[in-house]
């Protein structure tokens, strides 16, 4: 795609718009502008985000299952060696962050790390290649990096949040989970040692009634902050990285290569770090869901 046909603002807007399809005037179709995509409403689909996410997920499954089927006890090949290093790295990370007993956590952590890394890796593809190829096929917009779409990061964060709620209730029981929300951090010391109408117990019960709403507000904010922080941290960092690539693409050709190569090399660290942070926080949140000592 050339920048001569578009102004700088139009160029940036074009590269930041998803291929959104949904129901609108004239039936089901794909939007040609941000306003048209907005008018499609909540049930519109970002086809590029879903498509690239699915391809990266299938690529992860294909590569790891292929290596698993051909694994040997002898001298490993390059692919097997890489997969073994990845599994050992994730296993050590989980052992350091997760104190409970759940055989699902380590595979989940591996899936999250590799899948998010592969989606982030799409940010290193030159910014104009895929949109230009899409235009040749009659597709007006195509955004290659799924993690720069808040719908994708929020969707993954909600999936983690559902797991946190499920294991919190499974390990602690529904009553224990509700008690954790209602009695921490302030009200647990107000519980009467035994039921009686003594002045001391009445004061404890009164303090408990007063503090339970405060605890619920604090704990619910803390609970909701977990998926919000997961989603926005990943989205914000990847969106900022993509924006810098777009701004570099607007510069003269000889300056583009001077800036884009160092930024791409530095960005390798960013995409790896963001995948690791999302994975680590997921493990930490699941570990908190499995703790029932208090």
Q: Is 233 a catalytic residue?
A: yes
> How far is the C-alpha of 213 from the C-alpha of 218, rounded, in Å?
9
Q: Is 33 a catalytic residue?
A: no
- CA terminus-to-terminus distance, the chain: 59
Q: Is 229 a catalytic residue?
A: yes
> How far is the C-alpha of 245 from the C-alpha of 239, rounded, in Å?
10
118: tokens are 């592969």
Please list, residue by residue across 9-20, b when 16 or more beta carbons sit within 10 angstroms of its beta carbon and e when fewer do: eebbebbbbbbb
Three-state secondary structure call for residue 85:
helix
What kind and span of H or E run contains 266?
helix 253-290
Exactly one of 140, 151, 188, 229 is catalytic; which is it?
229
Exactly one of 18, 97, 237, 260 is catalytic; which is it?
237
123: tokens are 């940010």
Three-state secondary structure call for residue 28:
strand
Residue 106 is given by DSSP the state H
Question: Which neighbouring-strand residues pair with 127?
Answer: none
Exactly one of 102, 151, 201, 233 is catalytic; which is it?
233
Q: Which residue numbers are catalytic?
A: 229, 233, 237
């Amino acid at each position: 795609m050339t920048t001569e046909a578009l102004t700088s603002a139009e160029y940036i807007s074009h590269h930041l718009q998803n291929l959104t399809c949904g129901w609108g005037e004239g039936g089901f179709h794909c939007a040609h502008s941000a306003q048209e995509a907005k008018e499609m409403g909540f049930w519109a689909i970002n086809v590029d985000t879903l498509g690239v996410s699915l391809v990266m997920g299938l690529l992860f499954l294909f590569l790891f299952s292929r290596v698993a089927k051909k694994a040997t006890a002898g001298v490993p090949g390059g692919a097997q060696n890489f997969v073994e290093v990845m599994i050992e790295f994730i296993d050590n990370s989980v052992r350091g962050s997760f104190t409970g007993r759940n055989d699902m956590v380590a595979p989940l952590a591996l899936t999250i790390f590799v899948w998010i890394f592969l989606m982030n890796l799409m940010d290193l593809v030159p910014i104009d290649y895929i949109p230009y190829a899409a235009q040749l096929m009659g597709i007006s917009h195509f955004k290659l990096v799924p993690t720069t779409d808040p719908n994708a990061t929020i969707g993954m964060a909600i999936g983690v949040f559902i797991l946190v709620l499920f294991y919190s209730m499974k390990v602690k029981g529904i009553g224990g989970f509700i008690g954790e929300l209602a009695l921490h951090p302030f009200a647990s010391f107000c519980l009467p040692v035994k039921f009686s109408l003594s002045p001391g117990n009445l004061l404890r019960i009164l303090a408990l009634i007063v503090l339970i709403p405060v605890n619920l507000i604090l704990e619910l904010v803390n609970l909701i902050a977990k998926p919000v922080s997961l989603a926005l941290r990943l989205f914000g960092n990847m969106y900022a990285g993509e924006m810098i690539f777009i701004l570099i693409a607007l510069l003269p050709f000889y300056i583009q290569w001077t800036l884009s190569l160092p930024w791409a090399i530095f960005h390798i660290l960013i995409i790896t770090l963001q995948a690791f942070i999302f994975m680590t926080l997921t493990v930490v949140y699941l570990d908190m869901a499995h703790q029932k000592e208090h």
